[in-house]
Amino acid sequence: MRKRALILVLVLAALFSGAFPAAAQSEAEEKAFREIKLLIFDESWADALSRLEAFLAEKPADSRLAPALYYRAKCLEEIGGREEEALQAYKEYLGRGDRNRSLSQDAEASIIDLAMKLYQNGDRSYLPEVEERLAHPEKEVRYFAAVRLSSVKEKKAAAKSIPVLKAMLAEPDEELSNRAKLGLLRVDPEALAAVPDRHADRSSSRRSERKPKIFHIQILEALGGKAVLSLNLPFALADLALSGISMSDRALLKERGYDIDRIIRDLQTDGTILEIRDEKEGKVIKIWID
């Protein structure tokens, strides 16, 4: 009887010996993770990263492991100068089956941004990270990759964004459609000519209601000839694109007689129409705002 009682005590002791420490560990883990999230909320990226490294070394529960990996990647990205580590850290998070969908989309967008930064810093090996995401199952990721890729100076690489940019034009969201137009304008302006503007009637209606400034571009075969491209954009969006031209490109355009800052000022004068004649191509480009 005593032997059986002793065995029962030993069994119960074995069962409960890990229960209370585990509960205590879970509580401490939750407290540590909560403190890390507060550091991230305060954008204390270096401190948060240090705490996350220690937290992950303790092998946390799966429910906290996945978000901790995501937050670690975010800290590496925000600290700056550690783009390659951040990109790989996001990939580690995306490799988990228990990842969160919203965080996954953000991680994909961050990978695109990081890859573009590394590419712009001279490492072309990261450009495929952007190109591959043109076929991503999530359309939000495809669209973001296409818009970012359209800004690449390598025309062959940038042209890969065209099919996705054209798909974006069919979206009911006008802002999204405008981003696609800007992308196509950078890569292949004539690709817009064959695509009907779904938002034209709506834009015309809004213009009659509150008359916002609209940026117009027409490319004609010759002065007075047939228009091969007609594009209308809200001026705020076009101004952002023009203002984003790099200093080196501005200098090059200035050498050819086109001062971007002066062009923007002149265009805002009612009735001003800028005409650029391309003798080589035999085309005339007309730009105005109304």
**Is residue 74 situated within a structural domain?**
no
The per-residue pLDDT for 174 is 81
Phi, psi of 137 (to 5 degrees): -65, -25
User: Rounded distance, CA 146 to CA 118, Å?
Assistant: 17
**Is residue 290 situated within a structural domain?**
yes
For residue 239, the surrounding DSSP H or E stretch is helix 235-243
User: Rounded distance, CA 250 to CA 240, Å?
Assistant: 14
**Is residue 216 situated within a structural domain?**
yes
Bridge-partner residues for 275, per DSSP?
286
The per-residue pLDDT for 208 is 43
Q: Is the CB of residue 233 less than 8 Å from the CB of residue 215?
A: yes
DSSP state of 124: G
| Residues of the domain holding 283 | 199-290
Phi, psi of 268 (to 5 degrees): -80, -5
User: Rounded distance, CA 38 to CA 50, Å?
Assistant: 14
**Is residue 242 situated within a structural domain?**
yes
The per-residue pLDDT for 102 is 83
**Is residue 188 situated within a structural domain?**
no
If one counts the domains in the chain, the total is: 1
Which tens digit of pLDDT belongs to each residue from 115-174? 999 999 999 999 999 999 999 999 999 999 999 999 898 989 999 999 999 998 888 888
**Is residue 203 situated within a structural domain?**
yes
**Is residue 81 situated within a structural domain?**
no
H helical segments located in the chain: 2-17, 19-41, 45-57, 62-79, 83-94, 101-120, 127-132, 139-149, 155-158, 162-169, 174-187, 200-210, 235-243, 247-255, 260-267
The per-residue pLDDT for 115 is 96
**Is residue 10 situated within a structural domain?**
no
Bridge-partner residues for 220, per DSSP?
227, 284
Give me the residues of the chain with pLDDT under 70, please. Answer: 1-25, 191-213, 215, 222-283, 290
Strands 214-220 and 273-278: unpaired
| Residues 249, 255, 258, 259, CA torsion sign | positive
The per-residue pLDDT for 19 is 36
The per-residue pLDDT for 101 is 85
pTM: 0.63
28 half-sphere exposure, CB direction, 13 A CA radius: 9
